[in-house]
Amino acid sequence: MLSKNLLKKLNKQVSLEFYSSNLYLQMSAWCDHKGLEGAARFLKAHAAEEMQHMQKIFDYIQDTGALAIIDAIEKPIAKFKDLKEVFEITYKHEKMITTQINELVDLSLAEKDFSTFNFLQWYVAEQHEEEKLFKSILDKIDIIGLEGRGLFMIDKEVGSIQLG
Ligand code: FEO
């Protein structure tokens, strides 16, 4: 059975994963609007992944016999300076999500809720991959740059990334 505190924090994580999905979908729309088809495709696929992250936690809460609650979801940012800013925001956002997951892990251990601790291990591994992925895109932007053909190359490169 989930403690009141852990349930509250897991429900908060449901909202955060929803927000991640909305943020990436909004970024995808901006990229598409700017003719950046590769980045738009990648971010749209990533938005769908975030919905899976949300659903997994939602289902886990329900499976414990507790009630999953969908809270109001914050409006995502919709306009960006350039593609570098888009990926700087994603990287920062993923680091924040990792912190939240780590806090959940910490709490589940403190409460000796080993079922939830075990459930969260998937998210620990996933966050490692997500941070690595977004950092690698930022590294490519730094190496290639967004000037001239650079933007075209980065967009193509990002669009070729296979998710999942
Ligand atoms: Fe659900 Fe990108 O973390």
Q: What is the CATH number of the domain that holds 28?
A: 1.20.1260.10
Ligand 1 contact via 50 beta carbon (within 6 Å):
yes
Rounded distance from Cα 18 to ligand 1 centre (Å): 9
* Average pLDDT score over residue span 1-11: 97
Q: Is the pTM of this model over 0.85?
A: yes
Phi, psi of 65 (to 5 degrees): 95, 0
* Average pLDDT score over residue span 78-91: 98
Q: Is residue 164 scored above 80 in pLDDT?
A: no
Q: Which atom of ligand 1 has the smallest separation from the CA of 24?
A: 2
| C-alpha dist (Å) from residue 99 to 71, 81, 114, 153, 156 | 20, 26, 19, 32, 31
- Report yes or no on 126 lying in a domain: yes
- Report yes or no on 148 lying in a domain: yes
User: Apex CA 128: angle with CA 92 and CA 42, to 5°?
Assistant: 65
Of 58, 78, 54, the C-alpha closest to 68 is: 58
- pLDDT tens for 131-157 read 999 999 999 999 999 999 999 999 999
- Report yes or no on 153 lying in a domain: yes
Of 75, 82, 76, 78, the C-alpha closest to 138 is: 82
* Average pLDDT score over residue span 104-117: 98
Rounded distance from Cα 149 to ligand 1 centre (Å): 30
* Average pLDDT score over residue span 98-102: 98
Q: Is residue 91 scored above 90 in pLDDT?
A: yes
- Report yes or no on 108 lying in a domain: yes
pLDDT of residue 90: 98
- Cα within 13 Å of Cα(26), Cβ side: 16
Q: Which atom of ligand 1 has the smallest separation from the CA of 93?
A: 2
- Report yes or no on 164 lying in a domain: no
Structural domain containing residue 90: 4-159
Q: Which atom of ligand 1 has the smallest separation from the CA of 46?
A: 2
Residue 119 neighbours by CB under 8 Å, 6+ apart:
60
Ligand 1 contact via 14 beta carbon (within 6 Å):
no
Residue type, 154: I
pLDDT of residue 6: 98
Number of domains in the chain: 1
- pLDDT tens for 13-36 read 999 999 999 999 999 999 999 999
- Report the C-alpha gap between 130 and 16 in whole angstroms: 15
Q: Which atom of ligand 1 has the smallest separation from the CA of 17?
A: 1
Ligand 1 contact via 97 beta carbon (within 6 Å):
yes
Q: Is residue 61 scored above 90 in pLDDT?
A: yes
- pLDDT tens for 38-59 read 999 999 999 999 999 999 999 9
